[in-house]
Homo-oligomer: A and B are copies of this chain.
Amino acid sequence: MLAIPAKVAGCKELIFCTPPNPTPELLYALGLFDTDIFLVGGAQAIAAMAYGTETIPRVDKIFGPGNSYVTEAKIQVASQGVPIDMPAGPSEVLVIADEGANPAFISADVLSQAEHGEDSQIIMLTNSERILSETQDEIRRQLSSLPRKAIAEKCLANSSLILVSTLTEAIAISNSYAPEHLILAVENPDELAAEVTNAGSVFLGYLTPESVGDYSSGTNHTLPTSGFARNWSGVSTLSFLKTTTYQQLTLTGLQNLAEATITLARAEGLEAHARAVAVRLKEMGV
């Protein structure tokens, strides 16, 4: 729920756009915040928030997930200067599992991702042949009773379970792939976590399913996909802040900075910049 970091950041005005016919659960959650809710989705919602309409106010930043039309609209308004969270694509998980991992847990995590949509992507890397083969069997077993079996099955067809030599090799592959969600189903997750350079959100150890990140662990789950964890951050309180720098010189401060400022300004041929310092020193009699 992006309203929480926005409120923590001190945003005074907050609006939500969500497609018509929202679920009661969504309406209940939105009702917890003092915000306006507009029942409009798609590219038209992004345009309305970027430019303003008679009913929907123009906003300063637009965050939140959407389908490929929403993403394209966000990219277009971003090119005109409206900050967005990130160019979002289909969801992904990468699982690294060692010999001590539980195939039933890994399979449940794999299927959590698979039921999201046919274009979700799953990669599992393990250094244990036994875990690889038992996980393959267990996925098939758990899949059979899943309500969204058809979607999960199509997603699994595009996914990969890969045997690696070492966990070090696994983490190198992961860093190069830059997954949205990274599950470290290993005995010493802290050790491996220290080697992570590119990931949206990391789930440590055997008992941390990715689904708690979606619903209850408190980390934001608007995260970079499609390799963008290489150079983008997930949404956080920081996303709703901006910074302004301030400087104030005393007379001594001005004297201390005078030579550097005047020398550099003259080196660039900007005499008025130099004089802005010089005229002050002269008038102050120093």
A-B pairs with lowest CB-CB distance, top 7: A204-B248, A209-B276, A60-B231, A211-B273, A219-B245, A108-B276, A111-B272
**Measured between C-beta atoms, what is the minimum distance from A218 to chain B in Å?**
8
CB pair A207–B251 under 8 Å, yes or no, is yes
Stretch at the interface among A13-21, A31-39, A125-133, A254-262: A254-262
Please judge, given known A-B contacts A104-B283, A211-B273, A271-B147, whether A243 and B247 are in contact too, CB under 8 Å: no
Q: Does A167 make an interface contact (CB < 8 A)?
A: no
Q: How many angstroms between the C-alpha atoms of A12 and B257 in the bound complex?
A: 31
Residues in B neighbouring A212, C-beta threshold 8 A: 247, 249, 254, 257, 261, 277
CB pair A112–B280 under 8 Å, yes or no, is no
Q: Does A220 make an interface contact (CB < 8 A)?
A: yes
Residues in B neighbouring A76, C-beta threshold 8 A: 79
Q: Does A25 make an interface contact (CB < 8 A)?
A: yes
Residues in B neighbouring A283, C-beta threshold 8 A: 102, 104-105
Of A152, A215, A253, A265, most buried by chain B (CB within 10 Å of CB) is: A215
**Which residues of A does B touch, CB under 8 Å?**
23, 25, 60-61, 75-76, 78-83, 86-87, 102, 104-105, 108-109, 111-112, 114-116, 142, 146-148, 152, 189, 193, 196, 199-220, 226, 228-234, 236, 238, 241-251, 253-254, 257, 260-261, 264-265, 267-277, 279-280, 283-284
Residues in B neighbouring A241, C-beta threshold 8 A: 233
CB pair A208–B247 under 8 Å, yes or no, is yes
CB pair A249–B211 under 8 Å, yes or no, is no
CB pair A79–B81 under 8 Å, yes or no, is no
Residues in B neighbouring A196, C-beta threshold 8 A: 244
Q: How many angstroms between the C-alpha atoms of A268 and B215 in the bound complex?
A: 11
Extra inter-chain contacts (15) besides given A112-B276, A116-B270, A201-B245, CB under 8 Å: A81-B87, A81-B228, A105-B283, A112-B273, A200-B244, A202-B244, A204-B248, A207-B284, A208-B247, A215-B257, A215-B260, A215-B273, A216-B264, A217-B249, A219-B246
Task: Across the interface, name the chain B residue whose C-beta is closest to A282.
Answer: B104
Residues in B neighbouring A146, C-beta threshold 8 A: 271-272
Residues in B neighbouring A82, C-beta threshold 8 A: 231
CB pair B216–A261 under 8 Å, yes or no, is yes
Please judge, given known A-B contacts A60-B231, A248-B189, whether A261 and B215 are in contact too, CB under 8 Å: yes
Residues in B neighbouring A229, C-beta threshold 8 A: 242, 244
**Measured between C-beta atoms, what is the minimum distance from A58 to chain B in Å?**
10
